[in-house]
Amino acid sequence: MGMLDGKTVIVTGGAQGMGRRHVERCVAEGAFVVATDLQAAAGDAVVRALGDRATFVQHDVTDPTGWDTVVAAALAFGAGLHGLVNNAAVYSGTKPIGEESFETFERTMRVNVHGAWWGITKVLEPMRSGGGGSIVNISSIAGTTGMPGFSSYGTSKWAVRGLTKICAADLGPAGIRVNSVHPGGIAETGMYSTPVTDQDKEQRYNAVPLRRAGSVDDVSSLVLFLLSDSSSYITGIEHVIDGGSSLS
Ligand SMILES: NC(=O)c1ccc[n+]([C@@H]2O[C@H](COP(=O)([O-])OP(=O)(O)OC[C@H]3O[C@@H](n4cnc5c(N)ncnc54)[C@H](O)[C@@H]3O)[C@@H](O)[C@H]2O)c1
């Protein structure tokens, strides 16, 4: 028996990185999955390898009308709608406030925050009418501390954390749980720069009590738990997954 048997889940940004692994692992655990992304060829390739329990919709998370198509694709599996992983995001590097452009700030907020807001807004009716659901918003450890240079990405991830708590309070009575996940550096993803030299590695991993980068499977395991009924009394909480790097 799979952790997600009988459930239908939407994963945004599912063409690569962590999102791709969430799509693969949700299907492996028995879910029907709609993967979405801007990247059509890569997204199609991900679902093609997974058989008829997964489908891909090319979609920009900032497009509200496109969200209706995504939700319709989920409902077309005929099993209701139980999960949403707001994973798609952009990161444009760091610059101190004063040097950061408004264009970067605005675009980062639009994709990372408006995109998640639209997703939550569009899934809540089908989830409510089905008796509940689980929404997992991917934030970052940049949404837990005041990291220098992160006025765009970090602010967006703090907003995702706040949106999570507020929606958890609003939607709890409908049986819809909302949690945020806060990864540290996760290897083999678009937003992680792999340390190259021994000196880089030593410097990077010495700051992590578990002395390594996270893996996409580390994060997927947490996301699957939060989507599943095993976490049925957990809502509105930030789940940090960073090998202990934010302990000090
Ligand atoms: N990689 C890390 O070390 C790390 C650390 C902390 C948090 N995170 C967060 O985890 C999540 C996944 O990160 P990743 O590194 O695997 O990402 P990634 O860059 O590998 O993939 C992100 C995907 O999102 C898609 N995307 C971007 N803008 C989109 C839009 N407007 N509409 C739809 N899709 C869009 C991209 O095409 C891409 O396929 C993100 O929310 C990120 O902020 C990542």
Query: Cβ distance 23 to 50 under 8 Å?
Result: yes
**pLDDT, position 8:** 98
Cα–Cα distance between 89 and 87 in angstroms, integer?
A: 6
User: What's the gap in Å between 138 CA and the centre of ligand 1?
Assistant: 9
Would residue 178 count as lying in a domain? yes
Would residue 61 count as lying in a domain? yes
Please choose, from the candidates 66, 73, 67, 15, the residue with its C-alpha nearest in 3D space to the C-alpha of residue 39.
Answer: 15
**pLDDT, position 136:** 99
Q: Give SS3 for 16.
A: coil
Would residue 196 count as lying in a domain? yes
- Sorted by sequence, the CB contacts under 8 Å of residue 229 that are 6+ apart come out as none
Residue 113, φ and ψ in degrees, nearest 5: -105, -55
Would residue 218 count as lying in a domain? yes
| Residues designated catalytic | 153
**Alpha carbon 190 to chain centroid, angstroms:** 14
Query: Cβ distance 74 to 52 under 8 Å?
Result: no
User: What's the gap in Å between 92 CA and the centre of ligand 1?
Assistant: 11
Would residue 1 count as lying in a domain? no
pLDDT per position as a tens digit, 23-80: 999 999 999 999 999 999 999 999 999 999 999 999 999 999 999 999 999 999 999 9
DSSP-derived secondary structure letter, 197: S
Would residue 228 count as lying in a domain? yes
Would residue 247 count as lying in a domain? no
**Alpha carbon 48 to chain centroid, angstroms:** 21
From the CB of residue 206, how many other CB atoms can be counted at a distance below 10 Å?
9
**Domain extent at residue 203:** 8-241
Atom of ligand 1 nearest to the CA of 16: 39
Domain containing residue 128: CATH number: 3.40.50.720
What pTM did the predictor assign? 0.98
Q: Where are the extended beta strands (E) located within 75-171?
A: 83-86, 133-138
pLDDT per position as a tens digit, 69-118: 999 999 999 999 999 999 999 999 999 999 999 999 999 999 999 999 99
User: What's the gap in Å between 173 CA and the centre of ligand 1?
Assistant: 30
**pLDDT, position 29:** 98
Going by alpha carbons, the residue nearest to atom 28 of ligand 1 is 89
Instruction: Provide mean pLDDT across the span 127-156.
Output: 98
- Tally of domains in the chain: 1
User: What's the gap in Å between 86 CA and the centre of ligand 1?
Assistant: 10
Would residue 2 count as lying in a domain? no
From the CB of residue 51, how many other CB atoms can be counted at a distance below 10 Å?
8
**pLDDT, position 248:** 83
Question: Which of the listed residues 191, 192, 239 should we mutate to test ligand 1's pocket, taking the one with most ligand atoms within 8 A of CB?
Answer: 191
- Report the chain's terminal Cα–Cα distance, integer Å: 40
Instruction: Provide mean pLDDT across the span 118-128.
Output: 98
Q: Give SS3 for 193.
A: coil
Cα–Cα distance between 104 and 91 in angstroms, integer?
A: 9
Question: Which of the listed residues 12, 23, 38, 86 should we mutate to test ligand 1's pocket, taking the one with most ligand atoms within 8 A of CB?
Answer: 38
pLDDT per position as a tens digit, 199-244: 999 999 999 999 999 999 999 999 999 999 999 999 999 999 999 9
pLDDT per position as a tens digit, 145-189: 999 999 999 999 999 999 999 999 999 999 999 999 999 999 999
Pocket of ligand 1 (CB under 6 A): 12-13, 15-19, 37-39, 60-62, 87-91, 111, 115, 138, 140, 183, 185-186, 189-192
